[in-house]
Every structure is written in structure tokens, then in C-alpha cells.
Amino acid sequence: MLKIQNTLSKKKETFTPIKKSYVGLYTCGPTVYDRAHIGNLRTFVFEDILRRTLEYDGYKVKQVMNITDVEDKIIKRFLKEKKKNISEITKPNTKRFLEDMDELNIEHSEAYPLVTENIDAIISVIKKLIKNGFAYKGDDGSVYFDISKFKKYGKLARIKKVDIKVGARVSADEYGKTEAQDFVLWKSRKGNEPFWKSPFGEGRPGWHIECSALSMKYLGPTFDIHAGGVDLIFPHHDNEIAQSEGATGKKFVNYWVHGEHLLVNGKKMAKSLKNFYTLDDIKKKGFLPIAFRYFTLSAHYRSKLNFTWDALGAAQNTLVNLYREFAYFGFVSNGKKIQTESGEYKKYRKEFLEAVNDDINMPKALSILWRVIGDTLLSGHQKRELLLDFDKVLGLNMGFADELAIPPANVVKLVDQREEKRIHKQFVKADALRDKIEDLEYLIEDTHYGPFVWPKKI
């Protein structure tokens, strides 16, 4: 049974779904004005681990992730770069975002709705809010949410009543805790900005309303889990609660789950500090994207994690060792399928299940994985079966290890020739062939089962 920290209660709670064996999961998606940075990616990896844990527990998950393809930052760029259409900015960034997800072995969501394709759904929620007395049209022609009308406003971030600025309004998409005030639902048309027709006049949606409209459309008025980064708790998630509960009169979300920040060299990521990295930067430095995934698993999702290139390098070395061990176990067990379900085997499965269900404890899950690798009571085949089972949650793509253990044909030929020489005790010639193989960037380890071949560098 999954226990998860609920931001709403600030307690670790036992997860109980609304429907048996099914979980509705909403995860705030990217704003596609630019590439996702590694701080965003840490959150998306964490949400993938959450999703995989639920699937490991036997739930069918319906995950919805919105793609924000119209908001302040996108429009700023659109106007600055004098584009004809905002999709010239948002389309390539959406494509690259989905590629990033694949490279990090993140499972696909069941839906990735675009805001610009769901304006009607957004308008219908705003209409309900006006009808229910939670929204009003300001003198600037925009529609605002009246936070004084929603009695529990700020319950997620625990905003104090005294901090709420009654009557004040904010029309920017992003603002801080000290600016708790009426926020914009529909922005009236301005200059050359893109706009849509609506009963409240031409304009475009504010940022917060999309998640209420899209979660309602795909998951219904009340669903199980809403996840995101801690930076979204206020105002974004509190605004989502106000909008959704104001529109439907029903509880919005049962479990709110938030992942902590990623720091870079001990600092928050900022363009001005030039510590704003993307997955491309990671690849350019010669690292595997999946090594970043392994790196993020080294800390609990509710702890801050400090990114450095050295730490990523260490994570990659550890991951490559893991791949090597996995491939080696396959090599030595060579298809032998013996006594999989021993007591030792069952013990590890139980420990792993408990670790992942204890508020998604990935550092513990990884420590169990490394104990499996070092356990002398388990056979190579059993170790592989356990690692494959754990990988359903970890998503480290263990299958890639077996691909790495298959050298190209020219190397295989040299390995066979060297074996031939060794059988005939022509060790000088065998050593010369080994040197040739090493020149081709492969290493040979002689074992009881024959030569194990592995790339020098990955």
C-alpha cells in the first residue's frame, strides 16, 4: 500500500483511490517558450517514478499533462522575434520536449492537451465561475477571480488571511506569495497579441485556468493525484483549487504531491547566472541522458538536489557499472533459468516494494538494487530477474545493457581469433589480438564461461 506525503495535510497518508484499481493523475506540463531545463526535468522524472510506482502496485493510471502554448513568456518572445504565429515558437519546443521525455525513458501520458486547442473548455469554466459569483469583469475588460469569495483561498500554501490583498488585482501569470490578490482568468485583447473570441470579449486565457479546465475535461471534477514542482504550490496550485472548486462545488484533488527544487552548484537556476542547463548541454558534454535520470534518483523527491557536472559524472559511472553487472549476469547464466523464487529472491522483492511505497523512497530502492548485485546467495539469473523487476519503477532501461554487451562484427571476429590462439597456447599472438580489440575500444575479461566483452567507454 502506497504512503505518500500530501501537501494539503502536510502528512504522509495512505493512498486510497476514488475508483478501485484506477488512478487519475494530473501533472502540470511545460510552458513551451523554450527548452525544458534540468530543474523541470527533475520534476518530470519524479512524476514518472510516481506513475510507475502506481503501475507497479497494479493500478491503471490515466495521466494528463497540459502543454502551455500561450502565456506571457511565449507572447513576449513572439512579439520580440516578430513571428507570424505563436506556433512557430511553441511547435518546435513541444516536439523537443517530447523527445526529452523519451530520452529520459519517461512513460507517455494518456493525454497532452494543448491550451490553444482547448479554449472552449476554458471559456466554459470561466462562465461557471462568473455564474457562481467567483469571477468578475474588471474595468480593463479582463476577467478576474475574486479570492475574497473563496473562503479557503490559499489552503495549500497556507496563506494567512492578513496576507491577502482584498480588492487588489494581478494580471501577470507569475507572481509571489506576498501578492495574493485577485488573479486573471481571461485577459482582454492587447495590441498584436494572439486572441480568441469569447462571451467576455476578445482575449486569451490567463495561465492558471488551463489546468482546472483540462483536468476537469479529462479526469472529471474530482480526481486522485495532482503533482508538480514545489514552485507551483503558490499561486498556481492554490489558484487551480479556487477555480475548480469554485466552478464545480466539489473537492478538486485528494492528494497533492510536490517535488523539490534542483540546484546547480548550490544555487537556483537562472539565465543571468548562466547555470541554465538543458538535456542538450548534458549530451554535448558526453553524458547519457539516462545518467541524469539515475542522478535524480539519488535523492528523495522531497529533498533539494544539487547538480554539478562531477555529480553527474559519478552517476553515469555508477549507471555504467550497473549495466555491466546486468549484462555480465546474463553472460554467466547464459539462459539458465534456475530457482527464481528462492527465499532470498522474495526477500528483496518485498524490501523493494516497501521502499517504493514508502513515499517513493528512491535512495533506499537503489541501495536494495546494489545489495542484490553483491548478494552471493543469488544466481546471475535471479539477479537479472530482480533488476528487470525493479526497472519497471526505476526506468533505467536495463535492456540497453544487453545491447552494449554485443560488440560489432569486426570485434567479434577478433575475439574468436584470440580464443583460437589461446586454445593453441599461442599467447603472444593472442595478446596482440587483445591489443587490437582494445584499439577498437573494447575490453575483454576472461572468465570460466569464456571471454566477456564490454565497451571501454560509453
Cβ 215 to Zn ion shortest distance, Å: 8
Nearer to Zn ion, 211 or 320 (CB): 211
If one asks whether residue 211 binds Zn ion (CB under 5 A), the answer comes out as: yes
Q: Which is nearer to Zn ion, 52 or 237 (CB)?
A: 237
Q: Does 170 contact Zn ion by CB under 5 A? A: no
Q: How far is CA 48 from CA 17, 30, 42, 297, 399, in A?
A: 18, 15, 10, 11, 18
**Minimal distance, residue 27 CB to Zn ion, in Å:** 8
Q: Considering the complex, what minimum distance in angstroms separates the CB of residue 179 from Zn ion? A: 18
* Closer by beta carbon to Zn ion, 211 or else 262: 211
# of chain residues touching Zn ion (CB under 5 A): 2
Q: Compute the least distance from the CB of residue 106 to Zn ion, in Å.
A: 18
In the list 8, 28, 121, 253, the residue contacting Zn ion (rule: CB under 5 A) is 28
Q: How far is the CB of 3 from Zn ion (least distance, A)?
A: 25
Binding mask 341-380 for Zn ion (x = CB under 5 A): ----------------------------------------
CB of 211 or CB of 387, closer to Zn ion: 211
- Cβ closest to Zn ion, residue 63 vs residue 382: 63
Stretch that binds Zn ion, among 22-30, 148-156, 342-350, 357-365 (CB under 5 A): 22-30
Nearest CB to Zn ion, comparing residues 170 and 290? 170
> Least distance to Zn ion from the beta carbon of 99, Å?
22
Q: Which residues bind Zn ion (CB under 5 A)?
A: 28, 211
